Structure 1
């Protein structure tokens, strides 16, 4: 009972902040949540078709929308999990549901179709929010930065060098560019807006958004101005004003005159934008550490506990300072399926503990969803915990519960330490100490990305279903080991499921040798 009370203290801020966390929850931060959007979109499409039957005068526009939307959704329905594991599919899916249906709502508010409008509104709470759209844009930008993914490749469905059956539309590209422009990320916005202009073809969806090529070109010109590319911006403005379809635009003409005056008066030179070299974290995510990894040796571990004399574990030693090993084949498919089934209904946005605020809070550096399970929840959790004892030789009484996590679109965990690095009088460590060790089970293979990177020791571990990586966060003096800096790289393609166990130090006094020297 003492431990239960302690753990409630540990997670109390987390539970107390749950409402706050839910307010900032995101559908894009777990593949399990994203799969539901496919069914939501399917329902909305069917509702839209019912509405179309009552609107004969708008039938051509509605039918065109249904054809385009259903074609993509039918492809997704064939394998929803795989579909939403591809980031460009998710970007387009979230944009469709977050942006397009808002305009359809306006279009549908006529004297007919009230039943279908009501059905759409009943589903409103299931649709992505503006925050979801922002998370999706963050994820695509994160993938581009981490893995050097080019915008033109993503649009064609080429993701990290591999071709996928996916493509982005001009509207997808415009929405990305518009969002990035609002964030003052003008260089990135320029690539997306230029692509939107190149791909533009008049269709019903663009008409629904009242989005013309000229509007996109005007925003692109503004993006060029923000980059101090005045001559290029002037050229784009002249193109827009000279288009036969262009309506008189006094504001654009005024802007053009101001740019011409600025060029004549100041003779501005093009600004060179230098690119920062990749960080150790980014290099590790890209696989640059694979050739530098010095695998010490592999053994059958028969000594950690007496049970291993009968059933040894396959152990691969990656580092001795800090201690870092991989255990192979330590979680079965049945155990994985059970933990996933348990977690899916209760997954919520992952948080990070703030010592300053004394609570757990949602942060941009950790995008995933998680669920906690007591060690004795059922036979599977008990068995997994017993296996952790065999793997580590540690006492688990007083340690944290099992945490099951699922990553979504570009899901990652930025560089961090697992130890708390706080005074031993702090509430979070006062009773059971700091996190001596981390055990991380990989429950799925990940097609691309998702590695666990240790940049300070140039080591990366890529997910492999059924394996577990174990490392010590504290040195022999029970001080935080800064060589254990690590991160979860963004998932490019695939669904990453993991199970964590953080082992506290206090109950290990009889399990670890005394420190000497």
Structure 2
């Protein structure tokens, strides 16, 4: 009897340990689950890239950004630590242009008593800032900062070494700007060959809303109700606003309902993933830094309502949807963009050969949200800019009637400055359009 009692007592002794182990295991699993939701370094660097992109494209003032004004829209203020991190990550990318701007801002905040930082941290800021100034050609300013740093950290070996180096450069170099005799501090934006070119500069200017080119036929543009002799448009004609004649670009207003928009967003949200582009050499899809958005594809199998949306596109455009691609939903967050590109495949590319439906003859893009600031669709070669308007659809032809690409349709999605931009794209292909958009009488047409 005592032996049995002892056995039960031994079992009872192990019960708390067993439960404790189970609780620990549950806790560990929960920690692992939460860890998957934490931002990664890639998330951090992506956020920094987005902010710097906005700063460049929209020419935003660093001090205004740090004090919580994004293009005039109130936002959260940045601490000295935030500014320092922006500068540090720029430095790691050898982007000394942004390093100087954000380290200067961090230094200013520390000097004016940012409560989150202490004076001890000034040495770290000055260390980054001094070298960035040197890399931008401001040797005298780099020396001044290094001397300031040595007052804070007299035993800093790298600063002492840099001081001697800067003094030697100033002594040997006769360049007045590097010597700083005129007091000028230069900090030029570092751009590659493409981003310093005319197209990219035009793209950024259009995103800011600047008027660059005069359209000689602007006085002939018009609006009209369009039926295309299609039953769907008899009772509710499409409100067409012609924006450009050659190439033909038009905006259709109020062509998708709030109910349809809600349906598209609801279906798309769980499917969204990083948007990809066609590699022109391999024909494969891959992510790219010049396209920052999330996207997915929806078909009539996802909802019969998508069939009705496709039918309305066919009615508005007068084109056949049987060979068109599925409906793409794209979401651009703050800083989301798509730099200048063509929707059609050029002759040297093999982007759509596997589909067997020919090239993309036309594009229709629904705007399924408004955007507080930024996010315009721009055509750099035409000087045309179109700002998002919820429930409207932008339409243009990508190909001439002879099948040649219309290179003036090169376009871009400007970075979203404030808010979130949702669009829905429908890319329409050549096959099946023989009787809807027939070839012209002349080859060059």
Aligned-pair CA distance for 1:220: 0.8
**SS of the residue 2:43 aligns to:** helix
Pair 1:287-2:209 in alignment: yes
Q: Is the 8 A contact 1:424 1:430 kept in 2?
A: no
Pair 1:452-2:377 in alignment: yes
**Aligned counterparts of 1:357 and 1:499: Cα–Cα separation in 2:** 26
Aligned-pair CA distance for 1:116: 8.4
Aligned-pair CA distance for 1:120: 4.8
Larger relative contact order (C-alpha < 8 A, sep ≥ 6)? 1
The residue that corresponds to 1:178 in the other structure is 88
Pair 1:215-2:124 in alignment: yes
Q: Which runs of 5+ in 2 are unaligned?
A: 1-23, 179-185, 190-195
Aligned-pair CA distance for 1:118: 7.9
* 1:316-344 residue CA offsets vs partner (Å, 9 max, x unmatched): 01112111110000111111111111111
**Aligned counterparts of 2:92 and 2:224: Cα–Cα separation in 1:** 54
Alignment of 1:129-208 (within 5 A): 129-160=40-71, 162-200=72-110, 201=113
The residue that corresponds to 1:236 in the other structure is 145
**SS of the residue 1:199 aligns to:** helix
**SS of the residue 1:231 aligns to:** helix
Q: 1:373 to 1:490 in 2, by over 3 A?
A: same
The residue that corresponds to 1:335 in the other structure is 260
Q: Is the 8 A contact 1:230 1:268 kept in 2?
A: no
**Aligned counterparts of 1:316 and 1:483: Cα–Cα separation in 2:** 19
The residue that corresponds to 1:89 in the other structure is none
The residue that corresponds to 2:324 in the other structure is 399
Alignment of 1:67-466 (within 5 A): 120-160=31-71, 162-200=72-110, 201=113, 212-243=121-152, 246=153, 248-270=155-177, 272=186, 279-289=201-211, 292=214, 294=218, 296-422=221-347, 428=353, 431-466=356-391
Q: Is the 8 A contact 1:424 1:433 kept in 2?
A: no
Superposition CA RMSD, Å:
2.6
Q: Is the 8 A contact 1:437 1:474 kept in 2?
A: yes
* 1:168-222 residue CA offsets vs partner (Å, 9 max, x unmatched): 1111111111111121111221010011111124656x58xx9711111111111
TM (norm. structure 1) is: 0.72
**Aligned counterparts of 1:191 and 1:355: Cα–Cα separation in 2:** 37
Q: 1:511 to 1:325 in 2, by over 3 A?
A: same
Aligned-pair CA distance for 1:279: 1.7
**SS of the residue 2:85 aligns to:** helix
If you compute each CA radius of gyration, which structure gives the higher value, 1 or 2? 2
The residue that corresponds to 1:96 in the other structure is none
More helix by share: 1
**Aligned counterparts of 1:507 and 1:217: Cα–Cα separation in 2:** 65
Q: 1:430 to 1:343 in 2, by over 3 A?
A: closer
**SS of the residue 1:288 aligns to:** coil
**Aligned counterparts of 2:430 and 2:120: Cα–Cα separation in 1:** 60
* 1:336-381 residue CA offsets vs partner (Å, 9 max, x unmatched): 1111111111100000011312310000111000010113431321
